[in-house]
Amino acid sequence: MTSPHPSSGERLPIVILISGKGSNLQAIIDAIESGDVAAEIRAVISNRSDAYGLERARRHGIHTAVIAHQDYPDRKQFDNALQYCIDRFQPGLVILAGFMRILTDAFVEHYQGRLLNIHPSLLPAYTGLNTHQRVIDASETKHGASVHFVTNELDGGPVISQARIPVLPGDRADDLARRVQEQEHHLYPLTLKWFCQGRIRQQRNQVIYDGQPLSKPIDCTLKTN
């Protein structure tokens, strides 16, 4: 495994895991190609062969691979195969971008401090699935997205950054999903940029930002009209 943080002027090698459309993948690709993020995507790996994100990667000349979870009898063997595939590309960081699999403790520990995820809620609230509808059902007034280091606790790793949106009267789950995703496409590349610059790292169960423990997630809300 390469060093998580590259030397000045170098690009951080990353691998991105997806299961679906890959809109956050596209946002990261765009940020890299614009020169804003000093990273190199060495591979995009999916557990689903029909994930549209694979086509997005191919259009940009990025290597793709499919490790289908149905081909393995249990999570451990699937994760072993996935880890073997990832490590062939020697990434300094592994990014979960809509990767819909719960990972084993051994897998998470192998990439400790080098594994990021984005979750559609203001963590620690609303871990798990169906966050948009659950927020509406609870009559919340705020919603958003969080980028966090992955630990053995589902959606429970230390949160690095967040973006917030208001929950408006009459909002449906798909309304929230659309507005949250718009924030995600700004939030994830920006957080990746800081990781590539060596500004953020994980120390035990805490985020270190610019050399200091982070007392609360960094607000990266994109101002919209």
Domains of the chain: 12-219 (3.40.50.170)
- In this prediction, residues 101-111 reach a mean pLDDT of 96
Per-residue pLDDT tens over the stretch 43-71: 999 999 999 999 999 999 999 999 999 99
Question: CB count, 10 Å around CB of 189?
Answer: 20
Q: Which DSSP helix (H) or strand (E) runs through 40?
A: strand 39-46
Catalytic residues: 119
SS3 161: strand
Per-residue pLDDT tens over the stretch 141-192: 999 999 999 999 989 999 999 999 999 999 999 999 999 999 999 999 999 9
| pLDDT for res 2 | 46
Beta-bridge partners for 46: 18, 66
Rounded to the nearest 10 degrees, what angle do helices 173-196 and 23-33 cross at?
40
Q: pTM of whole model > 0.85?
A: yes
Per-residue pLDDT tens over the stretch 3-29: 465 555 689 999 999 999 999 999 999
Instruction: Tell me which amino acid residue 77 is.
Output: Q
Residue 152: closest CA among 106, 111, 105, 115 = 105
What is the distance in angstroms between the CA of the first residue and the CA of the last residue of the chain? 43
| pLDDT for res 8 | 56
Residue found under tokens 């290597």: 63
95 neighbors 6 (Cβ within 8 angstroms)? no
